[in-house]
Amino acid sequence: MIDSRPLLDQSAETIAAAVRSRQYSARALVFECLTRAERCDVPINSITRLLKVRALAEADAVDAKVAAGIDPGPLAGVPYGVKDLFDVAGFPTTAGAGFRRNAERATHDAMAVERLRDAGAILVATLNMDEFAYGFATVNAAWGTTRNPHDPERLAGGSSGGSAAAVAAGILPFTLGSDTNGSVRIPASLCGIWGLKPTHGTLPMGGVFPFVETLDDIGPFARSARDLSLIRGALKCEFSESASPYKLRIGRLCGWFAQNVTPPVQEAIDVLAAAIGGVEEVELSGASRARSAAFIMTAMEGGARHLPELRRRPLEFDPATRDRLIAGAAFPAEAGDKAAAVREEFRTEVARLFDRFDILIAPTVPGIAPRFDDPVVEVDGINMPARSSLGLFTQPISFAGLPVVAAPVGAHDGMPFGVQLIGAPGSDALLLAFAADLERRGLLGLGILPS
């Protein structure tokens, strides 16, 4: 069946094939993307900067290669955007902080941006985020709140909310974000798209403004599992595909990961597990301690990093970020030592679990996106701030450095939510192949909003 949608609404793989075969020029595609961004971003506020001159110049370079019979790469002509903590040559890297608007301009692109350019992708925009990536809401004092494309009265999640919303709204085919405690997986879930948090340390971090270096990773958002795999290949400069084994051992995390889950999420994961078949329930007993330790490590490292600026100009920080950073900087060193010890214990427990299973399934978030005017998550019967509490199920996983595919699994009242497919360290390709198989079977994936 021929796909009648505009090319910009199709997969990155399809877009690149059309550009390479001269069915569509990269310049025309980028011009269409820029026009759409100016029209469609107003109600959601995902973009902090449109890079018009650069994008059109990169498009012309791709078209020139095609005309010369040179393959521009696997992402030829595909427009994309980056969270505003990736260095973009000629512009300040704000990391979501208003007082960094006039920071020194980057002299080089981040390594990830360089690799995507080498693969033919075209950088079109920088995207909104929580200040210094400290939050799960993308409520930003300087650039405003990014709203959920499925309902502008609800949050998009964060801290990579602009990156997720731009894909969900159909503005960009893919984007890059970062994930420290869930900042790719949470907005992917709340916006109904796909996201990847890789095995810790496996995707290039050069030129990315750090938050908590012991936990930070970058990752893509996309419209499909296959596109995630294509983008990951470009970022790693590896393009071989890995097929799933015939029979995978699948576990479903219960205990901590079954508490505070709303009925629609619980039911959707029930359906998924039943369709997969042979899924065994299993518990990570250290998940609660791991989340607490992740909070401490995040606060301490983040606080220490920003302490000089906090002393110099505290009133220029977003108050919600400032107070959490100051609290983190005040933790005694012993707290960090204890958090590191908990991390090692938890990693040992996780490793034992992966002796028995290839992939684990868990919810990404407890429910649908909170409302903008009531940004809370119910935890143990108490309404807690969404900005700090949406990471209930993501923080323990990234604390162990595991790869995760965040996939759309269902919706309630028109709002999407997702599931985490979790693998052992280094199993990213296996996870993506498994996710793509479930997507082909119709068990995962939701549509992108019409532009």
Annotated catalytic residue: which of 83, 178, 197, 389?
A: 83
Q: Count how many residues are written for the chain.
A: 451
Contact yes or no for 180/190 (Cβ under 8 A): no
Q: In the beta sheet, which residues pair with residue 166?
A: none
Q: For this structure, is 160 an active site residue? A: no
At a CB cut-off of 8 Å and minimum separation 6, what does 71 contact?
Answer: 20, 65
Q: What is the DSSP string of 197-264?
A: EPSTT-S--TTB--S-TTT-EEEEEESSHHHHHHHHHHHHT-----PPPSS--EEEE-GGGGTT--HH
Annotated catalytic residue: which of 25, 46, 159, 189?
A: 159
Q: For this structure, is 83 an active site residue? A: yes
Give dist(CA 129, CA 145) in Å, integer: 9
Q: For this structure, is 236 an active site residue? A: no
Contact yes or no for 415/368 (Cβ under 8 A): yes
Instruction: Identify the sign of the CA torsion 124, 128, 129, 131.
Output: positive
Residue type, 67: A
Q: In the beta sheet, which residues pair with residue 195?
A: 221, 406
- Residues known to be catalytic: 83, 159, 183
